[in-house]
Structure 1
Amino acid sequence: MEIRLSSAKGRWIIFTTVLGSSMALLDSTVVNVALPHIGRSLNADLASLQWTVNAYMLTLAALILLGGSLGDRYGRRKIFVLGVVWFALGSLLCGIAPNALVLIVARALQGIGGALLVPGSLAIIQASFHPDDRARAVGLWSGFGGVGAAIGPFVGGWLVDGPGWRWVFLLNVPLAAICAPVALRHVPESRDPAAHGRFDVLGALLGAVALALITYALIGKTIWTGVAGVLVAVAFVLVERRRPDPMLPPSIFGSRQFTAVNLVTLCVYAAFGGFFFLAALQLQVVVGYSALGAGAALLPTTILMLLLSARSGALGEKTGPRLPLTVGPLLCAGGMLLMLRVGQGSSYLADALPALLVLGLGMVTLVAPLTATVLGSVDTARAGLASGINNAAARAAGLLAVAALPLLAGMGPEAYRSATQFGETFRRAMPMCAGILVLGALIAFATVRRPQVPGERPECKIHCGLTAPPLEPETVRRSSPGGGAADRPAAEG
């Protein structure tokens, strides 16, 4: 059944998908500003705060490719609603967590729920609407999502400073209580009749275990755990090479352009992940901002992406991807180096704002062309898979950066409790983030060329990919056995 956007049912679908995807989007952008309050409330050390961020990213990154496959096979609405309910239960457990360990476990559960609901929101739009209305429906979904990303820091900061950090998570419960019944009543069920074969559960588990072990090694400073993580990662690659229906088909990396762009993605999103984790702490611990003040202070990056990403995408189509993927990371590196001026006694207008504007312009320059280049580097039938892999790679890069940067910068377990100590380590970490971005720019300059785009694809015109590039809908769907989550329309930027 193809629904028109102007109908009441069409409006309900937009409302439901925006509400569901916004839960996961807001959680990924708001939790950072709550970290100092969480640490003080639960008497948690820096490692526990790292895991509070990383437990969510770990399960989301490892399972997002599998999540959409479940929707294609068993019903997109069914898996979307399951994800919403699962995410709400994880949020409830976060909100009542009596200690850091329970909070970390609950965050991992939230990530599983996110992996179920995130791919489904845009997939539902793509499957439900009349072809003449799909582009506008995707634009509405993307636009409302961008607005949600913009107001999220205000809402999150107000909750942290007001009723408390637990409400950052508890707020998801009433949102889910609205979203799930509306979805069941107003959203039509859809499946992909071509989805068949077995799910690559083993691949998903090996990927998750490898990331978990390597992350634990970096946070806990344990060499042998890191070695075990590398061995499991090797096993993951071997399994994927031998499976008839792998979650991550090695053959897709036969495209040199695709491989190159993913290397750039790893660099830039590692830097972004580390930066937003540390900057939220720096603004509160060292500069003395409230949670609301810190969230609002970081807002220029989101606003610039909301306003200018469509123009950036159009410019990238004219110049080719090499220029924006080289210049963008360099601008971001400059913005992070300018953040060295932000410390005790610094001025927001004179010190922080210029740095964030330069960083935001760099992100605007590179994110939309990066996504377009990923889509153009493979044949049309694999566009969704390519987008999903790129999205998961970005999340994994951010995960590892949050684990590694405090170690490399010499942050002790109680560093975030001392303005002097944290400020010193922040000044060591920012050049590292900038260096990773420069490496990404060099890779782009040396390897990225204008792709031969094998077909027309709809694009999300608004990109707010602070934690990962946006997953994109595709025009032609794959019909290979057991296709991955991103072989279908997926969501979230």
Structure 2
Amino acid sequence: MMDDTRGKNPNLNRSLICLCAAELVMMINTTAFNVALPNIAESFGAGMAEQQWVVSSYNLVFAAVVLLAGFLGDRLGHLKTMIVGLGMFVVASAIGLMAGNVPMLLVSRSIMGAGAGVVIPMGQALLGILFRGSELSHAMTAWAIAGTLGVPFGPLVGGTLTATLGWRGIFGFDGVVFLAVIVLIRMNVPPASASRRSRSLQVPWMSVAMMFAGFTLFSAGLVNAQHGVLAASAWIPMAVGAVLIAGFVLHDRVSRNPLMELRLMKDPSFAACAPALMMLNFSMYGIIFIMPAYLETVLRHGALVGGMLLMPLVIASIVGARMNDWIVSRIGSRGTSLLALGCLAAGMLTIGAAMWWPSGMMEQSTVMIGQLMAGLGLGAGQPAMLTWAMGRVPIEQSGAGSSLLTVFRQFGSIIGVGIFGSIQSGLYMAEFRNLVQPGGLHLQSAGSVTLDFQQAAGFAGPAGDMIRQTASRAYESAMIGSFAAAATIIVITLGIVALISRKTSR
């Protein structure tokens, strides 16, 4: 089938460019939205918990849909399924453009999450079918670089659109861009198939339901943990969610019609890449969830300048992606993956440590250095990890392998927003109370630094300035704990990855 496809379509480079364009604009969409969160929170009066749900709804639906997308794509056709996923972004953009409240925004982002859950595995599956050997390695690297570059460019695009058109401009931009991508893919990507063998279309709905319910409850517990990890509203949903996820894995393992190929986890290289990729998304989503409020509200730069101040992450990601082949040729995919995790942990610690400096040039310079470290890890890590893992997957299981890795990445996104958001919110409100009491102000935090700045607008003179200063100091102090906790989690994962893969080749 592969030879026939190549003979009919000698210009596969155009197919690669179009598929990479889809990945690029999708990742720009994902991260551009986070820059607009402070503006959205101000428009709708949304607290930290509501902001977490708006972000997490995307990741939750993504995680629930990705395995189902792989299941259907293998049976209905990968290209056709991918076009449907891109169409979801267009529909969701129209809903977001008209959104008048947080629930409508949740619907829009959920549909976008479903679209992303279809596009990513289908794109990687098409690459696995259209390319072979060294060409496959080149195509997977290009795909990974496109996604890596889309992640940090999102804040810049989002900041520009929010500053010029308002946050609704992001949804208008999405609608136009995704329509263009659909047209380009229909014109240039052949409808390739991995196999013509007839396969059952019976969907394992029990597995789908258990997985979605498990991820939803676990994420709900993480969001509620900002009010206390030991609170019943936090640990009970997390515990029930964990049980449902474990039940899904056990059920799918013995099912005659499984939703995912767990046998791939028997390979140590593949098994090591799964948590490593999870940490990439954990770090990226955590940084981009926490940093906009710091740059736009605490430092009072606005959306456009705030997006530009994330450019060190952009530049470092580009450099890391371009250096990937050079690094892998010297220390191998395993060594590059471990190095990337080390860079991420160091970047997290540096950003957190920057908050110890008095506000000013030293603080912002140290934050920039932390972004450079983390960006290098993101840029070099993703293509190395994907190539390392997918190189161990049989061609006939490329769709299943891609979907399984994507589930781990999305779980990283979920816990990234959940853990960062909960730790940051909990520490922020506690520090806000500690700082307010000695000043004689009888105030309580409104739940986020953005809303507390709004609250300060209601006080004239020194009182308003005092609230803003208190909120800024509390947010910076909370960042120290948030980034230190994230670095600890990444270091532990680095040790696990090293242990699992210790007997593998470079």
For structure 1, which segment, 87-96 or 113-122, has the greater mean C-alpha deviation from structure 2 after superposition? 113-122
Structure 1 equivalent of residue 486 of structure 2: 433
Matches within 5 A, 1:72-151: 72-124=74-126, 127=129, 151=153
* Aligned CA-pair RMSD: 3.3
For structure 1, which segment, 376-385 or 323-332, has the greater mean C-alpha deviation from structure 2 after superposition? 376-385
Q: Distance in 1 between matches of 2:160 and 2:105?
A: 21
CA contact (8 A) 1:5 1:129 kept: no
Aligned CA distance change for structure 1 residues 15 and 396 (closer, same or farther; 3 Å): same
Residue 273 of structure 1 deviates from its aligned partner by 2.6
DSSP-derived class of the 1:44 partner: coil
Structure 1 equivalent of residue 208 of structure 2: 204
Q: Distance in 2 between matches of 1:177 and 1:326?
A: 38
CA contact (8 A) 1:19 1:179 kept: yes
Residue 327 of structure 1 deviates from its aligned partner by 3.5
Residue 100 of structure 1 deviates from its aligned partner by 0.9
Note if 1:22 corresponds to 2:24: yes
Q: Distance in 2 between matches of 1:125 and 1:375?
A: 11
Query: In the alignment, residue 480 of structure 2 is paired with which amino acid?
Result: R
Aligned CA distance change for structure 1 residues 237 and 445 (closer, same or farther; 3 Å): closer
Matches within 5 A, 1:46-445: 46-124=48-126, 127=129, 151-184=153-186, 187-191=189-193, 192-194=195-197, 196-197=199-200, 198-221=202-225, 222=233, 223-340=235-352, 341-342=354-355, 345-347=359-361, 350-376=365-391, 382=397, 384-409=399-424, 410=426, 411-412=428-429, 414-417=447-450, 418-445=471-498
CA contact (8 A) 1:321 1:449 kept: no
Query: Could you report, residue by residue, the CA deviation over 1:23-74 in whole angstroms, capped at 9, with x for unpaired residues?
Result: 3211112111111011001111111111111111111122122213323322
Structure 2 equivalent of residue 488 of structure 1: none
Query: In the alignment, residue 421 of structure 2 is paired with which amino acid?
Result: P
Aligned CA distance change for structure 1 residues 407 and 314 (closer, same or farther; 3 Å): same
Q: Distance in 2 between matches of 1:188 and 1:323?
A: 36
Aligned CA distance change for structure 1 residues 195 and 305 (closer, same or farther; 3 Å): farther
Residue 214 of structure 1 deviates from its aligned partner by 0.8
CA contact (8 A) 2:252 2:258 kept: yes
Matches within 5 A, 1:457-472: none
Q: Distance in 1 between matches of 2:197 and 2:404?
A: 21
Q: Distance in 2 between matches of 1:150 and 1:322?
A: 24
Aligned CA distance change for structure 1 residues 370 and 136 (closer, same or farther; 3 Å): closer
Aligned CA distance change for structure 1 residues 14 and 4 (closer, same or farther; 3 Å): farther
Q: Distance in 1 between matches of 2:420 and 2:145?
A: 33
Aligned CA distance change for structure 1 residues 315 and 395 (closer, same or farther; 3 Å): same
Residue 362 of structure 1 deviates from its aligned partner by 3.1
Instruction: Flag structure 1 segments of 5+ consecutive residues without an equivalent.
Output: 454-493
CA contact (8 A) 1:16 1:179 kept: yes
Query: Could you report, residue by residue, the CA deviation over 1:368-399 in whole angstroms, capped at 9, with x for unpaired residues?
Result: 33323323555565455334322220211221
Q: Distance in 2 between matches of 1:147 and 1:218?
A: 29
Higher helix share: 2
Residue 241 of structure 1 deviates from its aligned partner by 1.8
Q: Distance in 2 between matches of 1:174 and 1:130?
A: 33
Give the number of aligned pairs.
Answer: 452
CA contact (8 A) 1:253 1:259 kept: yes
Residue 171 of structure 1 deviates from its aligned partner by 1.3
Q: Distance in 2 between matches of 1:415 and 1:356?
A: 23
Query: Could you report, residue by residue, the CA deviation over 1:138-158 in whole angstroms, capped at 9, with x for unpaired residues?
Result: 676666666655644332211
Query: In the alignment, residue 97 of structure 2 is paired with which amino acid?
Result: G
Query: Could you report, residue by residue, the CA deviation over 1:240-296 in whole angstroms, capped at 9, with x for unpaired residues?
Result: 122123122333333344334323444454233322211222222222222222222
Aligned CA distance change for structure 1 residues 433 and 166 (closer, same or farther; 3 Å): same
Structure 1 equivalent of residue 442 of structure 2: none
Equivalent in 31, 34, 45 of residue 32 of structure 1: 34
CA contact (8 A) 2:323 2:380 kept: no
Residue 204 of structure 1 deviates from its aligned partner by 2.6
Query: Could you report, residue by residue, the CA deviation over 1:411-459 in whole angstroms, capped at 9, with x for unpaired residues?
Result: 4462232323322221210100111121122223333236359xxxxxx
Residue 117 of structure 1 deviates from its aligned partner by 2.6
Query: In the alignment, residue 493 of structure 2 is paired with which amino acid?
Result: G
**TM-score, normalised by the number of residues in structure 2:** 0.79
Task: Please say which structure displays the higher CA radius of gyration.
Answer: 2
CA contact (8 A) 1:282 1:426 kept: no
Residue 315 of structure 1 deviates from its aligned partner by 2.8
For structure 1, which segment, 187-196 or 242-251, has the greater mean C-alpha deviation from structure 2 after superposition? 187-196
CA contact (8 A) 1:18 1:141 kept: yes
Q: Distance in 2 between matches of 1:316 and 1:18?
A: 22
CA contact (8 A) 2:61 2:117 kept: yes
Instruction: Flag structure 2 segments of 5+ consecutive residues without an equivalent.
Output: 226-232, 430-445, 451-470
Aligned CA distance change for structure 1 residues 42 and 183 (closer, same or farther; 3 Å): same
Q: Distance in 1 between matches of 2:372 and 2:23?
A: 27
**TM-score, normalised by the number of residues in structure 1:** 0.80
